[in-house]
Amino acid sequence: MKIKDFSDKKCFITGAASGIGRAAAIEMAKQGARLFLTDIDKKKLEETVSHIKGNGGTVHAWRALDISNFNEVKGFTGAILDAHGPVEIVMNIAGTSTWGTVEQLQHRHWKKMVDINLMGPIHVMECLLPAMVRGRAGGHLVNVSSAAGLVALPMHAAYSAGKFGLRGISEVLRYDLRRHGIGVSVVCPGAVKTPLINTAEIVGVDRTHPEARKFIERFEKRAVTPEQVARKIISGMRNNTFIITTSLDIKFLYWCKRKIYVLYHIVMLLLNAMMTRILKQAGQDPR
């Protein structure tokens, strides 16, 4: 189940236009993998493909699509399977983020988080994993969850709905796919310097407010680069690591949740108090 050499391995990656997905695509190309890439942003996806090809990498196929649309995913993956056979590596990286308190979140926010962050990866797995199993060549599945898929971060209820679900699916598949020689890794990053920092929707919070800006700046200072995450993912695949974390704070907090729950509980209370203060100072607290 450990993949030591990625040369000539067929690798499918979502979210390849930016952030972790782009970094992973570039790094896997350097490792000699043969790539199949997708993202919803056609222009930036084309830039990623051009960059990889310009540096000697191999991209067999790419297509701009919405992973929450099953028919679009099925159409692209079906064409890949027909032309190239089963892939050996699947990397579900695409995702989006919306934060907010339950009083502020609307139905569309909940649906978007589940449709993209949970059903999107499910669509990819549904279309590609059966062929991997039948191919009997082993392989590896990578699902990018989040720190919000490990611990109860404030205002992350809708986001965690998808990310906790994806971690749960990954844990089941870790054992279900073992007999087929397919490893499974779930990536749970903390802060990462991706476009999501500036595009994540924070419902009920004015991002331009000084307190909100201060919080975002603190988040950015703790953030690791997408390239660092990509290297951790590749190392995790090589070692068949199940949970891949990217920062010590999240790793420690998750350890506390399992080993010293009272400490975890206190930290969660403090984090919620901090977020409540930011909401009040930004004039957005509904109470």
Q: Is 44 helix (H, G, I), strand (E, B) or coil?
A: helix
Q: Between 223 and 37, where is the model more confident?
A: 37
Mean of pLDDT over the chain: 92
**Is residue 82 assigned to a domain?**
yes
**Is residue 162 assigned to a domain?**
yes
Tell me the residue range of the domain where 136 lies. Answer: 10-281
**Is residue 230 assigned to a domain?**
yes
Question: In whole angstroms, what is the distance from residue 91 CA to residue 100 CA?
Answer: 28
Q: For 191-213, what is each residue's pLDDT tens digit?
A: 888 766 566 677 766 666 666 66
**Is residue 235 assigned to a domain?**
yes
What is the structure's pLDDT at 146?
96
**Pair 159, 180: CB distance under 8 Å:** no
Q: For 74-87, what is each residue's pLDDT tens digit?
A: 999 999 999 999 99
Q: How many CB atoms lie within 10 A of CB 73?
A: 26
What is the structure's pLDDT at 213?
66
Which positions are annotated as active-site residues? 159
Count the domains in the chain.
Answer: 1
Question: In whole angstroms, what is the distance from residue 268 CA to residue 272 CA?
Answer: 6
For the chain, helix (H) and strand (E) counts, in that order, are: 11, 9
Q: How many CB atoms lie within 10 A of CB 259?
A: 9
Structure tokens at 74: 């099925």
Q: For 138-150, what is each residue's pLDDT tens digit?
A: 999 999 999 999 9
CATH number of the domain residue 216 falls in: 3.40.50.720
- H/E run at residue 283: none
**Is residue 3 assigned to a domain?**
no
Structure tokens at 57: 């990498």
CA distances from 98 to 186, 199, 245 (A): 20, 9, 21
What does the pLDDT average to over 216-244? 88
4 confidence band (pLDDT: 50, 70, 90): confident
